[in-house]
Amino acid sequence: MSWEKVCLATATIMFAASAVIDVSATTALSIVTSAMSKGQQGAAYAEAISAKGGTSPYKWSLTSGTLPAAVALNATTGVLTGTPSQSGAFTFTVNVFDTSTSPRKAQKALTLQLAPPPLSVLNNILPDKNRVTACKL
């Protein structure tokens, strides 16, 4: 801010002030992830939930619903990571806040689908095809 002393012919002293006001427009904060990738029980999972607008960096939180056991939301990056120990559909609501002087918030409900692990053969012994078993009718 600069001040100028202005003298008039009548010896009246006036001060004029000038200032630069920075008005920077930011766009509305929103979560742009529309769906979570499908995963599988017992397999490593990592998926970022993305936001745009507002002022970064963002802060993430889970506000309702549940994540599968062994999966967590990183509050700084918005990434879900872990090796889920359950299968099924897990619906949750996530919030994101920006870091502007008047923080903005966006919220979205998402569902994580986790398939059960694949079947595996534990016993590779098959019955003898030449063996005849008697049965009564």
| CATH number of the domain residue 37 falls in | 2.60.40.10
In a domain, 16, yes or no: no
CB 108, CB 33: distance < 8 Å: yes
Domain count, the chain: 1
Give the pLDDT band (50/70/90) at residue 105: very high
User: Which of these ranges, 43-57, 86-100, 110-124, has the smallest mean pLDDT?
Assistant: 110-124
Q: What is the pLDDT of residues 71-104, one digit of tens each?
A: 999 999 999 999 999 999 999 999 999 999 999 9
Amino acid in position 49: I
In a domain, 25, yes or no: no
Nearest to 70 by CA among 123, 114, 27: 114
